[in-house]
Amino acid sequence: MIWPGNPMASALILFAIAMPFLYAGRKVVHDLFRSIGHMIGGPLRLGARWLFATARDMKERNKAVLLAHGREEVGQHIEREFERIGALVTRDLEGYPALQRKLLEEITRVEEDYKKCGEVPPPPPEWVEAVTAIAKVKSDGNEMVQRILEEIKRSVHVIHDKALAEYRRASESRHKILNGFMPFWRSLDKTFGQVDKKLTGLHDTSSKIDAQMEKYEQINKKTERAEHALTVSAFTQFAISSLVLLIAVGGALVNFKLIALPFSEMVGAGDYLTSTLRASDVAALVIIFLETTMGLFVMETLRITHLFPIIANTSERMRRRVFWVAVVFLFIFAGIEAGLALMRDMLSADKQALVQSLASGPQAAPPDPLLRLIPTTAQMVLGFVLPFALAFVAIPLESFIYSLRTVGGAALVMLVRVLGFLLRILGNLVRQLCKVLVTLYDVTIVLPLVIERLVKAARSGGSEAESRSVKRAA
């Protein structure tokens, strides 16, 4: 310390001594700060640029994968719709010739009946002309003529009554025929209704295909709208499948609880794989995983999921064999689990009895046999059913895996962008910091700088005065 007991004054004196040296090294120090700024800020900015470029590439790659997956999915959807239409056409339109024949027959019959019921006026009898001629005959009070005319009148009346009765009978039979029309009309109406319904169904399916085709075209054109729709769909699928998988994990945990204790009876409870993981627990978990795998194979062979292309590509016969093998294994596992659940119940009861006998308190009364039977049965049923329930995990698992690619990709892009942004900010911050340091350095040596400015001003003032006097003399 230059001034003992006064650090402030000592520091000031040291600063005053150091000031000329600081002034002398000003340019070097400025260059140093700038170099440091470039040295740190440059790579940071470069890194940020690289990260942004990587994020762009990743986004492009994600888009390509998303569109490819979407194309595949929509393609499958369209294929399924076509299959549905094919089945519809085979089922409904295959019967169309028969339907048409039936319709024609019914129409012909209706036509024939219609013709039958047409009102045909009775033909004028041939003797009408004769009657007309007779009517023109003048009786003139001739009794003979009168009698003949009377006779003719009576005969005409009889014939008229007969013709009228015949006409009424014919009308009645026509009405009966018309009445018989009704079932045919109803049948025709029903048949046409069926045809209409089927054609409407066909039209609906065609509309669905049209919508899917439009989607397919948009995917092929790689439009923003298609990408956005697919991304949203993937996020929704991810959320739903995660939820269902969580429920499945809950089921698996229940399953694990059911079989972990009896497994310790089989493989021993004293072996540990890690400090907290027992071999018996791992064995129980392996059984659960095997059940899930068998379920996966069942779903694959049923072509509900498409996780293993090799299974989808096998022959129909082989696929059926794999299906039955997986189903048999599932049944075996279910049977084993039901047995283990029973064993667990027995072990728990034994442990409970031991604990009660060890307790110094009063012994509890034995429970009702029915009450004991209900949980035992429930455990056995659960043990049998859960493997089959776990088999269905394959469906949400597939959705989860596919949507994870999109969601994970998007999250990764976001992360890379955030990193790039942070690096850019850091780079700028370093460069600005170096500029601030340069200014601060100048502030520290402000006194020599002021002197320098004054000297420069004085020099320039003198030279200007000299040049002015020279000019005047000239």
Partner 1 sequence: MGAIMVKRLLLASLLGLSVSTCTDQRSHTQAVYMLIDTSGTYAAEVGKAQRIINYLLGTLQSGDSLAVARVKTRSFSEKDIIAKVTFDSRPSQANAQKRAFRDKIDAFVKSVGGSAYTDITGGLIQGGMFLNETGAGRKTILIFSDMQEELDKLTIRDFPINLKDIRVVALNVVKLKTDNIDPRRYMGRLEAWQKRIEKAGASEWILINDIEHLDRMLQS
| Interacting span for partner 1 (CB under 8 A) from 98-106, 232-240, 307-315, 383-391 | 307-315
Binding flag, residue 75, partner 1 (CB under 8 A): no
Q: Which residue has the tokens 């339109």?
A: 93
Least separation in angstroms between CB 316 and partner 1? 21
Least separation in angstroms between CB 272 and partner 1? 5
Say whether 302 sits in a helix, a strand or coil.
coil
Amino acid at 208: K
Tokens of 199: 């054609």
What residues form DSSP beta bridges with 272? 278
Is 406 in contact with 67 (CB distance < 8 Å)? Answer: no
Report how far Cα 10 is from the mean position of its chain's Cα atoms.
77
Give the x-and-dash track for 208-247 against partner 1 (CB under 8 A).
----------------------------------------
Least separation in angstroms between CB 248 and partner 1? 16
Least separation in angstroms between CB 211 and partner 1? 24
Q: How many CB atoms are located within 10 Å of the residue 245 CB?
A: 16
Binding flag, residue 309, partner 1 (CB under 8 A): yes
- If we measure between CA atoms, which residue out of 399, 401, 397 comes closest to residue 409? 401
Alpha-helical regions (H) of 222-364: 224-267, 279-301, 309-312, 316-358
Binding flag, residue 261, partner 1 (CB under 8 A): yes
Total residues interacting with partner 1, rule: CB under 8 A:
34
Binding flag, residue 253, partner 1 (CB under 8 A): no
Task: Name the DSSP class of 94.
Answer: G
Binding flag, residue 264, partner 1 (CB under 8 A): yes
Binding flag, residue 355, partner 1 (CB under 8 A): yes
| Interacting span for partner 1 (CB under 8 A) from 32-40, 49-57, 273-281, 333-341 | 273-281
Choose, by CB under 8 A, the member of 121, 140, 315, 360 that binds partner 1. 360
Is 396 in contact with 241 (CB distance < 8 Å)? Answer: yes
Buried b (16+ CB within 10 A) or exposed e, 30-50: beebeeebeebbeebbebbee
Nearer to partner 1, 29 or 269 (CB): 269
Give the C-alpha separation, 50 to 416, whole Å: 10
Binding flag, residue 402, partner 1 (CB under 8 A): yes
Binding flag, residue 19, partner 1 (CB under 8 A): no
Choose, by CB under 8 A, the member of 9, 17, 68, 304 that binds partner 1. 68
Is 264 in contact with 351 (CB distance < 8 Å)? Answer: no
Residues that bind partner 1 (CB under 8 A): 65, 68-69, 72, 261, 264-265, 268-275, 277, 306-309, 347, 350-351, 354-355, 357-360, 398, 401-402, 404-405
